[in-house]
Amino acid sequence: MAAKLKTAVLGATGYSGLELARILSRHPRTASPLLLRRTAETDPESAEPRKKSATASAASPPISGNGHAHVEPFSWSTLKQHGVELLFLATPHAVSRELVPDAISRGLCVVDLSGAWRLKQEEHRAIYRFKDADVKTAAELTERAVYGLPELNAGQIKSSTLVANPGCYATSVILALAPLLFAGLVDLNRGIISDSKSGVSGAGKEPTARTHFVSVADNFSAYSVFGHRHTGEILEQLALDSSQFIFTPHLLPIPRGILSTIYVYLKRKMTAAKIQSCLQDFYAGKKWVRVFPASTLPEIQFSVHTNYCDIGFSLADDGRRLILVSCLDNLLKGAAGQAVQNMNLMYGWDEAEGLQ
């Protein structure tokens, strides 16, 4: 029997990191993952040491078993000692931007769940305000990084050692729009609008005034209008201009899940059957995208706790106005599940391994 892949998860106590640890711990081709936490040395955003967390049990009973799933402080020597081959970074953008050059130079493969390496164009990347210690190396890695959306970039992912996991909102929007845009069916002169809603876990584990229970419960709000970090991903991956696309995210009073309602005009009159065929043909053989029948729309409850992205649509009687609805779990298909999909591709395994 082939030796199992040795992985590590830095940021293992965050929401996405915990999901990753849970999936990897039961994956048939990976050894139990090394769980790591950030320290002051690995966190450029904080000058204060972070509190120690001896085990994962307090944060996540499902991955701790009998309490022996230790979360260790991050260090390169720890990774080497454990023979880690693939490093998952479930860390803030600035942390990933700082660590990846070292990781690659040490011969590690990396799947990064932050936005540090997703964007090729400086105008989109500027929102992160990165300050690279080695500008030349950062530029080289930016070009080298593969945008890890398996349904679109499987061929590149298979040969990559640095995969930039997509954002959760971006995944829901790109997967819904890609078949129609690539087929040239959308009237871009009329513009595209995406009205997207996410559960509170999409904001991360660190509490803020916006994500406290009192602010979220019995409430519904828009945020980051004309300024959300995932907008650049959508524009780049779909080859859109900012004048052609409006994206507004909203915060739902639920723990997890995303629903994107996307409004488009078509270049010519279409039938529901043709739209259906366009979507189904594009995703034929793609395990983790489910295309719903015409006018049967997905709901968050159908995809939550799974790695599926569900896509449905409704076509107006005029055959020109189309509404797409895309749903996924922001912590799985929008983060940890997709990261494991990428790992599977990188090592030549079936995309569904460990995600069933």
Give the active site residues.
168
CA distance 32 to 25: 5
Quote the strand ranges of the chain, DSSP E.
7-10, 34-37, 71-73, 86-89, 109-112, 146-147, 162-164, 192-198, 221-222, 245-251, 258-265, 289-291, 309-315, 321-328
How many residues comprise the chain?
Answer: 356
DSSP conformation letters of 87-138:
EEE-S-HHHHHHHHHHHHHTT-EEEE-SSTTS--SHHHHGGG----SSHHHH
Helix count (H) and strand count (E) of the chain?
13, 14
How far apart are the C-alpha atoms of 240 and 287, rounded to whole Å?
27
- The CA-based angle 192-195-196, given to 5 degrees, is 125
d(CA 253, CA 23): 26
Tell me the backbone φ, ψ of residue 241, rounded to 5 degrees.
Answer: -95, 150
Crossing angle (nearest 10°) for helices 272-282 and 168-182: 120
- Distance separating the N- and C-terminal Cα atoms of the chain: 22
Dihedral over Cα of 253, 334, 177, 129: its sign: positive
